[in-house]
Structure 1
C-alpha cells in the first residue's frame, strides 16, 4: 500500500468538518520535509460530498452490512445475466430492504459524530448503495471507502467510477474497518457559553456548505438522469424507425411472393398445355410413320 493510499484511508475516515484541516496539515508536513510531489498529491485529495462521506463512514463502521450489500449485488448481477426472473425478484426485494436499513444506520452513524442528515442526503446514500449492487465498478468504489461523490447506475451500462474516488488506487482497495462513534453526549453548562454566537455562526455556515453540496450533487444527478433518458429515447426512436423499415420490406416481399405465386400458377398451366400438345404431336408422328411404312 502506498503512503498516499494509507493516508487517504485515514483521512476519509475523519469527521467531514475536520477533513480540510487534516489534509492541509499533512501536506504542510510533507512540504517541510522537502517532499513536494507527495505534498501536492495529498493537497489534491478532494473533500467528499456529504452523501459520499456518509457512505465512506458506513463502509468503516458497518463493514459486515456493507459486505452483505455487495454480496447481494453480485448475486443480483449473476441472476440478471442468467435471466433468472424468480431469483431477480427475490434479490431485488432483499436489495431494497438492505438499502433502506442501511439508510437508517447511516443516520445513526452520522449522529455519532454530530452530523444531521437530511432526507435528500439519505436518498443519495441509498442511490449509491443501489449503484454498488447493480454495477461491479461502483461496488469497488464503495468498498474502498474513498468516495468523493455519490454514485448512480441503472446497471445497463458500466459506470465510469474513476472520478468518483479519491485516488486511482482506490479501486481494488478495501477501507479499514473501525468501531462506530457513540452518540454525542449533551453538554451541560453552568454558565452561558461565551462562544455561543461564534459556534452558532460556524454551524450555520456548515449548514449552508452542506446544503450547497446537496444542491450541486442533485444537479449532477439530474444532468445524468436527463442524459440517460435522452440516450434511451434516441435509441427507442432509432428502433422504431428500423421496425417500420422492416415492416415495409416485409410488405414488399409478401407482395413479391404473391406475384410469384400467380406467375407460377400460370406457368404450371402452360406446362400442362405443352405436355398435352406434345402427347398429341407424338401420336400424330407415330401414325404418320406407320402410314409411310405401309406405302413403302
Structure 2
C-alpha cells in the first residue's frame, strides 16, 4: 500500500471512472493544501485523467490482479526462453500469452459494459497493445500492474515509452508477479467454465465475499447512474440555455434582415428621387449663372448711366 501521499491519492483516484476523476482530484488536492502539504497538493493537482483505454487497463489491474500478474510474470519467462534460444518453449509461451491476452480482452469488454461504457474498437486495440507491452518490458509490466496508467502503452520491439504514462510517480513492484505455468493453466481451465461477460474477482467462492462484491458492484452501478443523471440534468440545462441563445440570435438576425430590407427599399426610393433632383440642380445652376451674368450687365449699365449723369451736371 502506498505511503507517499501523492501515490496514495493516485491509487484512489485511478480507481474511479474518468468522469469522476477531476472533481475527486481537486478535492484531494484541497485536502492536502488544507493540511499544509503544499508540495503534495501541487503534485496531486498535476495528476492527469486517464484515457478510456488506460481506465480499462487500470480496472483489469485492480479487479483481475492474478491474470494481469500472470501476464507480467510471463514476460520474464519469454525473455529467458528467447535468451536460451529455446524455440519450443518460446512458441508455447507465445501461445500462452495469446490466450492470456484473449482472456483479459474478454474481461475488459465485460468490465466496460458493466460500467455502461461500451468501448470502441480503437479503445480495445489500445488495451490490447498495452497488455502486449506489459509482457515484453518489466517496467511496462510494473506500470500496468500499478493500476495508475494515464495513457495506453505500445511496445516497439522490447522497448516501451513510459514517459508520463503512470500517475503519482514511478510504480513500485507489480501487485502480482504471476503464478507458475501449472497454476496459470489451472486458472485458464477455471475461467473457461465461466461466462465471458462475468467478471471474476479474486477467485472468491465464499458466499459472504460474493455478497460483498455484489454490493460493491451495485454501489458502483448506482454511482454511475447518479453521475449519468447529473450529466443528463446538466446537459438539459445547457441545452435550454443554448436554445434561448439560439432563439435570441435568430430573432436578432431576422430584425437585422428586416432593417436591411427596409434600408434597401429606401435606398432604391432615394436613387429614384436623386435623378430628377440632379436635373433640377443642373437647371437651377444654369439659371443662377444666367442671373449672375444679367445682374453684372445691369450693374455695369447702371454705373455707366450714373457716370454720364454726373458729367452733364458738371
- 1:135/1:155 contact within 8 Å kept: no
- Judge which range, 102-111 or 161-170, deviates more: 161-170
- 1:99/1:126 contact within 8 Å kept: yes
- 1:144/1:170 contact within 8 Å kept: yes
CA distance in 1, matches of 2:69, 2:46: 29
Name the TM-score, length of structure 2 as normaliser. 0.56
Are 2:72 and 1:70 aligned? yes
User: How many residue pairs end up in the alignment?
Assistant: 196
What are the residue-to-residue correspondences of 1:3-152 with 2, within 5 Å? 3-152=5-154
Cα deviation, 1:77-121, whole Å, max 9, x if unaligned, reads 111111211111111111112112211101111222222211111
Cα deviation, 1:224-246, whole Å, max 9, x if unaligned, reads xxxxxxxxxxxxxxxxxxxxxxx
User: 4+ runs of 1 displaced by more than 4 Å?
Assistant: 177-180, 182-185, 194-197, 199-202
What are the residue-to-residue correspondences of 1:243-254 with 2, within 5 Å? none
Q: Shift in Å at residue 135 of structure 1? A: 1.3
What are the residue-to-residue correspondences of 1:211-226 with 2, within 5 Å? none
Q: Shift in Å at residue 184 of structure 1? A: 4.2
Evaluate the alpha carbon distance shift between residue 198 and residue 163 of structure 1 in structure 2; reply closer, same or farther with a 3 A threshold.
Answer: same
- 1:59/1:66 contact within 8 Å kept: yes
Evaluate the alpha carbon distance shift between residue 174 and residue 162 of structure 1 in structure 2; reply closer, same or farther with a 3 A threshold.
Answer: farther
* SS of match in other structure, 1:165: coil
CA distance in 1, matches of 2:235, 2:136: 41
* SS of match in other structure, 2:170: helix
CA distance in 2, matches of 1:98, 1:14: 25
Are 2:201 and 1:165 aligned? no
- 1:8/1:146 contact within 8 Å kept: yes
- Judge which range, 42-51 or 113-122, deviates more: 113-122
Answer with 1 or 2: which has the greater Rg. 2
- 2:141/2:174 contact within 8 Å kept: no
Cα deviation, 1:103-156, whole Å, max 9, x if unaligned, reads 110111122222221111111111100011111111111111111111111334
Q: RMSD of the alignment, in Å? A: 3.1
Name the TM-score, length of structure 1 as normaliser. 0.59
Cα deviation, 1:10-61, whole Å, max 9, x if unaligned, reads 1111111101110011112222333321210110111111111110110000
CA distance in 2, matches of 1:106, 1:16: 16
CA distance in 2, matches of 1:110, 1:31: 34
CA distance in 2, matches of 1:53, 1:112: 14
| Aligned residue in 1 for 2:175 | 174
CA distance in 2, matches of 1:136, 1:195: 41
Evaluate the alpha carbon distance shift between residue 200 and residue 116 of structure 1 in structure 2; reply closer, same or farther with a 3 A threshold.
Answer: farther
